[in-house]
Amino acid sequence: MNANNFSGEELRPLQSIEQWEDDLLLRYPEEEKKAKEDYRNYENPGRDTVREFYRLNHKYQTYDFVQEKRKEFLQFSRKEMPVWGAMEFLNTLVDDSDPDIELDQLQHLLQTAEAIRADGHPDWFVLTGFIHDMGKVLCLFGEPQWAVVGDTFPVGCRFSDKIVYPEFFADNPDNQDERYNTKFGVYSPNCGLDQVSMSWGHDEYLYQMVKDHMPEPALYMIRYHSFYAQHREEAYAHLMNDHDKEMFDWVRKFNPYDLYSKSPKPPVISELKPYYEDLIAKYLPDTIRL
């Protein structure tokens, strides 16, 4: 199943891929701003595009779809460029629809990384903030938005009702497949998340790209930062081993920087570029394959 199988509306249900992150802020507002009515409020008709996004995501993200995408993209045969060049390539995904902020992708990622640096975290943590969305280049290869962004979840076992819009899984073929619709599905109890296939998107793509180069806590942050059904709702502890549970402390530590670091004041890229190029050189190869 490739992009040619889908209509324009199915490829791009959102006005921009950043609408997904805007929706996350409504679901998970900062602690001091939370009110009971803020939680999981999906009745706002202004968010119909998000509902349609998740209808498609939940319909098409099957176990077989994920395996096909892994085979298609994890050969990394499309481009090879320096990491900073890949970030500039990502930067062609400019969000014109966000009414609150007018920053491009590179500026947003620099804001995330600079917030982490300001709090005194290790340099690999800072670099993780800078590159964590680099996998969104999948959109530039013609991939549907719902196969690039969105909350991630395990495939190959029963879909949790803690996942956003769980009712849309009724249209997913795996929901009727006895191989995949039980609590453990193709997995065993506490097998460890490394044995679990997650729904396909920018998280897994980037993880596979950098898994031989970054420290393990960084890799957990990259791979599972969109796995809200676990790091916020704790719906899949039965698949996690003790090491996963320990490493998810890092995922939770990263999450606020990802969600809440947006600011209308743009970072000065020319001033920050030398620092980040040195940081990239410390941990990543000279060029990276996409």
pLDDT more than 90, % of the chain = 76
Radius of gyration of the chain from its Cα atoms, rounded to whole angstroms: 18
Q: For residue 130, report the phi and psi dihedrals to the nearest 5 degrees.
A: -70, -40
Mean pLDDT taken over the chain? 90
**Residue 129 — very low, low, confident or very high, per pLDDT cuts 50/70/90?**
very high
How much is the pLDDT for 209?
97
**What contacts 67, CB < 8 A, 6 or more positions away?**
197
Q: Determine what percent of the chain is predicted with pLDDT higher than 70.
A: 89
Q: Residue 70 burial by CB count (10 A; 0-12/13-18/19+): exposed, middle or buried?
A: middle
Mean pLDDT, range 213-238, rounded to an integer: 98
What pTM was computed for the model?
0.91
CB 20 within 8 A of CB 50: yes
Q: Which of 125, 90, 88, 92 is nearest to 273 (CA)?
A: 88
pLDDT at residue 100, as a whole number: 40
User: What confidence score (pLDDT) does residue 42 get?
Assistant: 44
Identity at 49, one-letter amino acid code: T
One-letter amino acid identity for 155? Answer: V
89-93, 144-148, 250-254, 277-281: least confident range: 89-93
Residue 131 pLDDT greater than 80, yes or no? yes
In Å, how far are 26, 47, 185 from 260, measured between CA atoms?
12, 20, 35
On the 0-12 / 13-18 / 19+ scale of CB atoms within 10 A, 32 is: exposed
pLDDT, tens digit (0-9, with 9 covering 90-100), for 26-78: 898 885 454 444 434 445 534 589 999 999 999 999 999 999 999 999 999 99
Find how far residue 226's CA is from the centre of its chain.
4
